Every structure is written in structure tokens, then in C-alpha cells.
Amino acid sequence: MNAGQNERSADLEVLKPAPRNDESVSEPVGPHALVVQRLGKTYGEGAGAKEVLRGIDLRVDPGQLVCIVGPSGAGKTTLLRCLAGLQTSSTGTISIGGRLITEPPAEIGLVFQDYGRSLLPWMRAIDNVAFPLQGKGVPAGERPRMAQVAMQSVGLGDAAHRYPWQLSGGMQQRVAIARAIAYQAEILLMDEPFASVDAQTRFDLEDLLLGLRRKLGISVVVVTHDIDEAVYLSDSVTVLSGTPASVVETIDVVLDAPREQIATKADPRFAEYRSRIMRRIRRPELAAVSKERP
């Protein structure tokens, strides 16, 4: 932490999601809750149909950080893609501030697992960050400043004019986060965001994310298979399990704030949450295995 840190967080004000004035919605103006009700997803039809998600209920209140955990192949990514409006659900509804989601909503900033594929290699880092602003119709004069503030907020102020492929994996993921921040997303959706970086970088990025959430007051949904990460980050953990996947438990995580990598993980409550989630994930799987045996 250096002296410049305070100035930066003051700058960050310009990136706080602006209150939206949507006349079609009767909800009060301001940050919106993301609400998922009885969501189901089935791929294909008839005999070959594969049901992936069943009866998912989820609520993300403004400013909340929710992790969705579950074993690999449990449909976590499918759920996230539905939340992002990239896929349509088969049953149930997703809404933001009471408005049903049928296409990618303006309130959501998506951070992909594979940063190498979602950053455009022909644009410099700062242009990648500014690009969605152009799509949004932000005047050309304001885009560079907003992008630069976002780059500074993820600690990459000096790397703005390098290309993504000149940056390390962790730095590329920071660019992807800066892009979502600059977009003034109210809700950050992240799909296994720190799965492909080394452990130390992962811890740094986790703390960066918690800091941004605190400063900007945004909500965050993180899909992860890493239970430690889920407990460390979350206000609330949604555990998915089974085939098709359903919510087996939603656990409110109560730990001292702000979280700190060593102290938080040494807290006995951390270990309790951790084993509770692990048991919830494992049990349906064991049940499934014993069912297959004659």
C-alpha cells in the first residue's frame, strides 16, 4: 500500500455504476438484485435430452458477493452463461431489478475463465478495456480516461499500452476485470476467474476483487470449484450438486471483514464452512455411485 492508493480510490468514483433510470421498471432507482427462480436447463429434446440444471433458486443482493461451488461438470458454467444472458434457460426466470433477462443485460460485466481468448490480441490492454465503452456509446473523449482509471484500479496503470499477450496470465485477468469495471457493471459475473493462475497470483487477485467490491459497491457472482476460494470470498455460498444439478444448500458466510489471506483462513469458522460445503458436495455424489451398484 503506498500513498497513491488513496488518490486512486477517489478517482474510482467515476466508475461507480450510475443509478439507472429505466422507465419500464417500477423498481426504485439504484442498484438491482439479481434473482433466479426455479431455473432449469435441458440440452436437446426427446430421448437424447440431457437435463443439466433443475429448480435453481438464487438471489444476489446489491453489494453481495456470492460464490457458486460444485464439482466439475455440475453445470456451474451453464448457470453462469444463463445469468449472463448468453444462453436461454429451459424453465424458470432470471431477473435484474424485476426485469426479465433474455439477452446480455447492460448491468452485467462478464469475466471469463480463459482470459487469453476473451481479450482481443490486436488491441492494447487499455483499448480492450475501453472497447465496450465504445459499444455503449460513451463519447470518444471520455473513454480513455475511464479505461485508465479502471486499469489503475487493478494495479495496471503502467501496462496500459502493452498488448494482452505481452502480459502474464494474472495481469491479463486483471485487464479483463478492468474491462468489466470500466463498463460500470453493477454485477460482476466471473467463471472460474482465477483457475489458470498460480496460487500467489490467485490470492492477490482474490484480494483485489474484494477491494474493488468494497470500493464500488458492486455485486459479484463467482463460479468456482475451489471451496477455500469460495469461503474466503463469499458473503454467501450456493452449493450445486447432483445430476441434474440443483442447489443443495445456500450458506451465509460470516467471517471478519475485511478478509485477510492468513487470519481469515486460520479462523476456526473458516474450517467449519469448508468442511460443511465439502460434505454437501460429496454426499449426493456418493449416493449416485452406490445407486449404480447392484
Q: Quick one: 164 or 242, whose CB is closer to other proteins? A: 164
Q: Quick one: 5 or 88, whose CB is closer to other proteins? A: 88
Which candidate, 181, 203, 219, 187, places its Cα nearest to that of 259? 203
Report in angstroms how near the CB of residue 32 gets to other proteins at its nearest.
17
Q: Quick one: 135 or 294, whose CB is closer to other proteins? A: 135
Distance separating alpha carbons of residues 162 and 157, to the nearest angstrom: 11
Report in angstroms how near the CB of residue 59 gets to other proteins at its nearest.
22
Report in angstroms how near the CB of residue 121 gets to other proteins at its nearest.
5
Q: Quick one: 109 or 242, whose CB is closer to other proteins? A: 109
Report in angstroms how near the CB of residue 120 gets to other proteins at its nearest.
6
Report in angstroms how near the CB of residue 179 gets to other proteins at its nearest.
8
For the chain, state the CA radius of gyration: 19
User: To 5 degrees, how large is the angle CA 238–CA 214–CA 58?
Assistant: 20
Q: Quick one: 28 or 165, whose CB is closer to other proteins? A: 165
User: To 5 degrees, how large is the angle CA 166–CA 4–CA 126?
Assistant: 30
Report in angstroms how near the CB of residue 200 gets to other proteins at its nearest.
23
DSSP string across 100-136: EPSS--TTEEEE-S-HHHHS-TTS-HHHHHHHHHHHH
Distance separating alpha carbons of residues 94 and 71, to the nearest angstrom: 23
Let me know: does 249 contact 78? Beta carbons within 8 Å: no
Residues that bind other proteins in the complex, under the rule CB under 8 A: 84-86, 104, 106, 108-110, 112, 114, 117-118, 120-123, 131-132, 134-136, 163, 165-166, 179, 183
If DSSP states are collapsed to H, E and C, what string results for 11-71?
A: HHHHHCCCCCCCCCCCCCCCCCCEEEEEEEEEECCHHHCEEEEEEEEEEECCCCEEEEECC
Q: Quick one: 117 or 291, whose CB is closer to other proteins? A: 117
Polymer length of the chain = 294
Report in angstroms how near the CB of residue 13 gets to other proteins at its nearest.
22
Q: Quick one: 113 or 246, whose CB is closer to other proteins? A: 113
Q: Is 240 exposed, middle or buried (0-12, 13-18, 19+ CB in 10 A)?
A: buried
